[in-house]
Structure 1
């Protein structure tokens, strides 16, 4: 009887926690401050200050980038980004660095995360005159149409509370064709032949290789849901998918089951993409040239084609990485002189 009463009380507490959004409250009042303290302890206050001012310097540098002149608007290759107030300048540097290492015309297609103010939109268009920006009202309209709340409650909740999910939902829902979605915190230093070849003739999903397997969920659960072997070390900094191949009902079920059995996780988007690609032949970016979390030495003297600046490589991104892209451009040199 005692255990029965305990279970009833627990059920009521879980119900009220969900009803009152206590998880969100706990995050704001406890986990976020705790995370900040842990991050400060790990990096040190002085390093955090240096990184902050380095990121501000990078953002200001965007305003000095020379506009990209499209070579051929009829044969442009589309690259997709989700961005907003915190990342727009990183998006610009990523797309700019890629454009600087190809004679092909790239068209950035930018999806607003809800915080892309007009002044940032204007600067993006100034740098990339052929860019297409899709704003929040338009996105919300087709999300409501193609992923209605009553039918996709878990995907909608995740999309609202976990912005990374929008790289799947907002860019692919109700759409058709292959799309290459790039994370903003990446830079190109050489011609990305692998990616350009994929963009010209995509035939299979595309991804890059992580430093370790980071999905946040057990391989057993993921494999049982996908009914296929899950690839190790899949990283979605580079993510090529065919929109109409995504089974949204299945994705909703996977999302629901992962959460109910093992909770929410920061890497859930990566886990879901790994499940979508499970059992399928994929185009995998060579990890020696498309590096996730490059070392300080590699960032200071890049040898690879691309860097994806995650985790401990973030400081090197803000202190050194972007300056390789900017140093000659500020002198007014054209692409042909690079």
Structure 2
């Protein structure tokens, strides 16, 4: 972006975008209430009680987090473990900002947690996805953090891994996830509240070689690293960018293309709810909520408290 372009962005587009987001959230008072709830949630994450020892094989969950999201990671894992009544062995990928003060509460709750340093992730990328051969994936890894949820757990590794987002809360036993984790045999994904890929379906279908399903959501994603064709993912990403530009939903689009035409384990949309709205956002009767988009106020103001109590 040119200097003039940056000045226009900082002095007009960015402030205008902020004003629009405040108005969409219901005004300054509603934004303040959500921010206050977020701060209370972060404070509460430091005092979550340790759960009693659980029996059974540990469940391995993979999450990307950092200083902005560690407390959401804590609540996600804590509510999962509380209802699953199984030991957890989380694998947590540091986005580069997860200092010791943010790791300590996670380790207190989950002593078996393993942290993957950003430097270690880069070293693995250099070994298996060198920038000279995979320039687009490597550029996106640097500038589009969501792609790390696809690359970091799987590059240079084989075997099934369940990658989950941090902004999840669990209210009942996640039997579907536990069954898959104990015997994974096909890809797993959740169901979105609407189809959000950021790219035209014609282009996605043509690249995938099969019709891409509607409403694939990657808040829960189970994939086998050995089955991932990184050369193909590089071509797909390069083509999507060249023809239709960048998109916040690139990671979701790529995974939807990866599972196109395949038999998948699909989380029930009624039990594993993406973007809960009333009455479910108030009742919390489902197994899980994934708090995206305009469901954040319920997450930060109310439902972490309900999940804790």
Matches within 5 A, 1:134-173: 134-173=116-155
Q: Corresponding residue for 1:284? A: 266
2:100 aligns with one of 113, 118, 125: 118
Paired with 2:259 and 2:217, the residues of 1 have a C-alpha distance of 12
Contact 1:299 1:320 in 2 (8 A): no
2:67 aligns with one of 71, 74, 85: 85
Contact 1:289 1:306 in 2 (8 A): yes
Paired with 2:106 and 2:12, the residues of 1 have a C-alpha distance of 36
The Cα offsets for residues 230-283 of structure 1, whole Å up to 9 and x where unpaired, read as 010000011111111110010000000000000001111100000111111000
Which structure has the greater CA radius of gyration?
1
Paired with 2:165 and 2:154, the residues of 1 have a C-alpha distance of 15
Residue 131 of structure 2 aligns to a residue in which SS? coil
Contact 2:188 2:265 in 1 (8 A): yes
Would you say 1:50 and 2:33 are equivalent positions? Answer: yes
Paired with 1:320 and 1:138, the residues of 2 have a C-alpha distance of 37
Unaligned runs of 5+ in 1: 1-16, 328-338
TM-score by length of 2: 0.95
Q: CA deviation at 1:34?
A: 3.4
Q: CA deviation at 1:326?
A: 2.0
Residue 299 of structure 2 aligns to a residue in which SS? helix
Q: Corresponding residue for 1:318? A: 300
Contact 1:230 1:279 in 2 (8 A): yes
Paired with 1:228 and 1:50, the residues of 2 have a C-alpha distance of 45
Larger helix proportion of the pair: 1
Q: Corresponding residue for 2:230? A: 248
Q: What value does the CA root-mean-square deviation take over the aligned residues?
A: 1.9
The Cα offsets for residues 118-142 of structure 1, whole Å up to 9 and x where unpaired, read as 1111111011111111111211111
Residue 270 of structure 1 aligns to a residue in which SS? helix
Residue 82 of structure 1 aligns to a residue in which SS? strand
Residue 244 of structure 1 aligns to a residue in which SS? helix
Paired with 2:110 and 2:178, the residues of 1 have a C-alpha distance of 18
TM-score by length of 1: 0.87
State the number of aligned residues: 308
Q: Corresponding residue for 1:3? A: none
Closer, same or farther in 2 for the Cα pair 1:131/1:103, shift >3 Å? Answer: same
Contact 2:88 2:110 in 1 (8 A): no
